[in-house]
Amino acid sequence: MEAWEKSLKNCITSPEELSGLFRLQGGAFSPVVERYPMRITPYYLGLIEEPGDPIWRQCVPDPAELDDLTQSPDPLDEERLSPVPGLIHRYPDRVVWIVSSACAVYCRFCMRKRGVGCASMAPAKVDDAIAYIAGDPRIRDVVLSGGDPLLLPDDRLAAILSALSRIPHVEIVRIGTRAPVTLPERITPGLTRLLKRSHPVYVNTHFNHPREITPQSAKACARLADAGVQLGNQTVLLKGVNDDPQTMLSLMRRLLAIRVRPYYIHQMDLVQGTAHFRTRVGQGISVMQALRGHTSGLAVPHYVIDLPGGKGKVDVLSGRPGSGGRTLLFTNYLGEEIEYPEPD
């Protein structure tokens, strides 16, 4: 058993374990964990300095998760856009393949909070996914997602990458993973050798706060970069975590220093159980203003909203006021006008 597999076996998964470590009452966590599972690696738990800090907020259950009853479990209509269970085909030339239903840490703001870590979410079957992708010559870009694809054993990941490499019209593979952030020991020499022989492979990871950039996570990213993997980062704008300009500026600068290119800052998706993380768009614009001109253009990501209903991503700055000042209007890539609600 490898070190990363041992770490997964030692994850904190119960309210009793968590409350014992921090001398808190576990009763408040229990109803939340019954609905939305908890999993925290020993490594990521060690980054918490005190209850309520930016690392804590990302991984520790909050009763507010159960108070959010107005938002949708699947606001991006992924299930409707799945021609094969576990394969999402939203844009003509690319698909998202759910290859894993588990993560090393179950983030409390997860866009697939409805299913990650739950029996209700199953990865797409390899034969079915490959058959669908092979049958549609428009598909040139495959995104492996989950859950976390890097929680698969090397041999299973190799089989998926090998099968994709035999489809002539698939040009690139992207992997979305938080393993360098939450389980850096997963980035082993064996994994990097596998990815190196599978190029072109792009990895988008998910740092949300400067304190997540540690010697361990920097080493994990260096191993990937040294293997020729193009590294990007997708940050979610989270209230109480990174919604102040200086925190985001520090994060973006430090990402470049470890050879990770900032790619997206995401406005929070309208996912049920996550409303307490949402900021107003104006706050995100203030964050972007603190980046532009104050640091290298390399450190300035796109600030985007993934529109409800599976209507695609749009640049936030392209929005215009909607009805009553409570919504924003966007025009998506299909020319459709979509309304986006601001939080109260």
Cβ atoms 287, 267 nearer than 8 A = no
- DSSP character at residue 161: H
Residue 286, number of CB atoms within 10 A of its CB: 15
Active-site positions?
Answer: 90-91, 94, 103, 107, 110, 112, 269, 306, 313
Res 229: pLDDT: 97
Known binding residue 103? Answer is yes
What structural domains does the chain harbor? Answer: 69-311 (3.20.20.70)
Q: Per-residue pLDDT for 305 more than 70?
A: yes
Model confidence band, residue 322 (pLDDT cutoffs 50, 70, 90): confident
- Tell me the Cα Rg of the chain: 19
Q: Among the listed ranges 47-56, 232-241, 242-251, 318-327, which one has the minimum average pLDDT value?
A: 318-327
pLDDT in tens, 213-266: 999 999 999 999 999 999 999 999 999 999 999 999 999 999 999 999 999 999
3-state DSSP: the chain helix, strand, coil percent, rounded to 5?
40, 20, 40
Strands 327-331 and 337-341: antiparallel
Q: Per-residue pLDDT for 27 more than 80?
A: no
As a whole number of angstroms, the distance between CA 222 and CA 260 comes to: 9
DSSP letter for each residue of 294-336? TB-GGG--EEEEEEGGGTEEEEGGG-EE-GGGSEEEEE-TTS-
Res 28: pLDDT: 77
pLDDT in tens, 178-200: 999 999 999 999 999 999 999 99
As a whole number of angstroms, the distance between CA 316 and CA 322 comes to: 14
> How large is the average pLDDT for residues 308-312?
95
DSSP letter for each residue of 277-288? G---HHHHHHHH
pLDDT in tens, 73-110: 999 999 999 999 999 999 999 999 999 999 999 999 99
As a whole number of angstroms, the distance between CA 87 and CA 98 comes to: 6
pLDDT, averaged across the chain: 94
Res 26: pLDDT: 64
Nearest to 202 by CA among 166, 229, 233, 165: 229
Res 23: pLDDT: 77
pLDDT in tens, 121-159: 789 999 999 999 999 999 999 999 999 999 999 999 999
Residue with tokens 């907020």: 57
As a whole number of angstroms, the distance between CA 250 and CA 219 comes to: 19
Cβ atoms 287, 243 nearer than 8 A = yes
pLDDT in tens, 278-295: 999 999 999 999 998 888
Q: For the chain, how long is the longest CA-to-CA vector?
A: 58
Res 119: pLDDT: 64
- DSSP character at residue 160: H
- DSSP character at residue 124: P
Nearest to 24 by CA among 72, 76, 61, 74: 61
Q: How far is CA 303 from the centre of its chain?
A: 15
Q: How much is the pTM?
A: 0.95
Res 20: pLDDT: 84
Model confidence band, residue 115 (pLDDT cutoffs 50, 70, 90): confident
As a whole number of angstroms, the distance between CA 230 and CA 281 comes to: 29
